Amino acid sequence: MSGIVVTHESQAQTPPARPALTVTVVQPRIQRIPFSLQANGSVAAWQEAIIGAEVNGLRLAEVLVNVGDTVRRGQVLATFAAETVEAEVAQAKANVAEADATWQEAQANAERARRIADSGALSTQQIAQYQTAAQTAQARLAAAQAQLQNQLLRQRHTRVLASDDGVISARSATAGAVIAPGQELFRLIRQQRLEWRAEVTASELARLKVGQRVKVQVGALSPLTGRVRMIAPTVDPQTRNALVYVDLPGAMSQGIKPGMFARGEFLLGDSDALTLPQSAVALRDGFSYVFKLQANNRVTLVKVQTGRRLVNEPGKETNKETDSAIEILQGVQPGDSIVASGAAFLADGDTVKVVAPPAAPSSSAR
């Protein structure tokens, strides 16, 4: 008798894969992102005035200001010993008085000679001599008056005055020194105005124009907003770079000094862009990638091309999904689900557990 063998095939089920990571997902969104041009450069004084000595051979008696002092136009910065000049002024005044008396006498003699010219008491030659003496005395009086004005001017120059409002940036004046004419005594940052001198390439000059807004960052200080004042008319033949001069209003009051290095961003406008949070983009081997969520909760590694960045401003309340963003030029579509964070810990094909993002705090909680 033949036997019948019944075989029961076991239907083993593969257990579901264990999630590699718990993640939240976001979808690309449209945001306004500014066009900008970044550059480096140094902070410098808008204009620096040199204040020097205008008298010679005098001793510097007193120096009234030091480096860092704020001064006003016309303020006395230093004084010279004026005894010698005062004596010369007194002598010049005496010379003027003497020359004036001589001229008065010569003028009177010439007038008398003119009145008696018809009487024949004086010859024509004598009359001419009186008139010439009067003219000579008048010229000597004018020369004495000019000398007096010169001495009075030297007397005024014994006080060194600030040529403009500003801050003293350098001082070479030393009390007791005998100063030569034209020797530098002080340097003055005019009107406390600073500027940022940015270096840009020749190809970038066409994108810039006078009046554009610029954000300037100097070290760890608060960023400043300036405007392009002038674009250099020439390009350095060695570096092929040009200078762009950016006014920095109120920079000195915020602790910025001439000579500091600064980074800046020229704001050229803005436009709509497809963006993702910066935390969703991973950098691997020099390329940018995101993880795209599939229907079975598996993620696929997708290479993307990035563009502009929307960077959070210091001190501003931020939201990862709306404020800190990067433009995606290629690789994703508006309806795709992208892993919002943790991309550095995932691999292509991993299974993830998707959870809802935490709710944003209410205005009262803030």
Write a three-state SS string for the chain.
Answer: CCCCCCCCCCCCCCCCCCCCEEECEECCEEEEEEEEEEEEEEEEECCEEEEECCCCCEEEEEECCCCCCEECCCCEEEEECCHHHHHHHHHHHHHHHHHHHHHHHHHHHHHHHHHCHHHCCCCHHHHHHHHHHHHHHHHHHHHHHHHHHHHHHHHHCCEEECCCCEEEEEECCCCCCEECCCCEEEEEEECCCEEEEEEEEHHHHHHCCCCCEEEEECCCCCCEEEEEEEECCCCCCCCCEEEEEEEECCCHHHCCCCCCEEEEEEEEEEEEEEEEEHHHCEEECCEEEEEEECCCCEEEEEEEEEEEEECCCCCCCCCCCCCCEEEEEECCCCCCCEECCCHHHCCCCCEEEECCCCCCCCCCCC
Q: Which residues contact 334 (CB under 8 A, 6 or more apart)?
A: 27, 28, 29, 30, 274
Q: Where in the chain is the domain with CATH 2.40.420.20?
A: 21-34+270-354
Is the pLDDT confidence value at 229 over 70? yes
Q: Where in the chain is the domain with CATH 2.40.30.170?
A: 39-47+193-269
For 105-126, write each residue's pLDDT tens digit.
Answer: 888 888 877 777 767 677 778 8
Pairing mode, strands 21-23 and 299-310: unpaired
Architecture field, domain 82-157 = Orthogonal Bundle (1.10)
Q: Closest Cα partner for 327 from 290, 284, 277?
A: 277
* Cβ 158 vs Cβ 59: under 8 Å: no
Is the pLDDT confidence value at 7 over 50? no
For 36-85, write each residue's pLDDT tens digit.
Answer: 889 999 999 999 999 999 888 889 999 999 999 999 999 999 999 988 89
Phi, psi of 325 (to 5 degrees): -135, 160
Q: Where in the chain is the domain with CATH 1.10.287?
A: 82-157
Domain 39-47+193-269: CATH superfamily, name plus number: Efflux pump adaptor protein, beta barrel domain (2.40.30.170)
For 260-307, write each residue's pLDDT tens digit.
Answer: 999 999 988 888 888 998 888 888 888 999 999 888 888 889 999 988
* Fold of domain 21-34+270-354: 2.40.420
Lookup: tokens for 101:
């008396």
Handedness of CA 129, 132, 136, 138 (dihedral sign): positive
Check residue 21 and give its pLDDT.
Answer: 80
* Cβ 191 vs Cβ 247: under 8 Å: no
Check residue 363 and give its pLDDT.
Answer: 45
For 157-179, write each residue's pLDDT tens digit.
Answer: 999 999 999 999 999 999 999 98
* Cβ 193 vs Cβ 45: under 8 Å: yes
Half-sphere exposure of 295 (CA within 13 A, CB side): 0
Check residue 8 and give its pLDDT.
Answer: 44
* Fold of domain 57-80+158-192: OB fold (Dihydrolipoamide Acetyltransferase, E2P) (2.40.50)
Lookup: tokens for 172:
């070479």
For 315-330, write each residue's pLDDT tens digit.
Answer: 444 444 445 788 899 8
Q: Where in the chain is the domain with CATH 2.40.50.100?
A: 57-80+158-192
CA 110 from centroid of its chain's CA atoms:
70
* Cβ 341 vs Cβ 355: under 8 Å: no
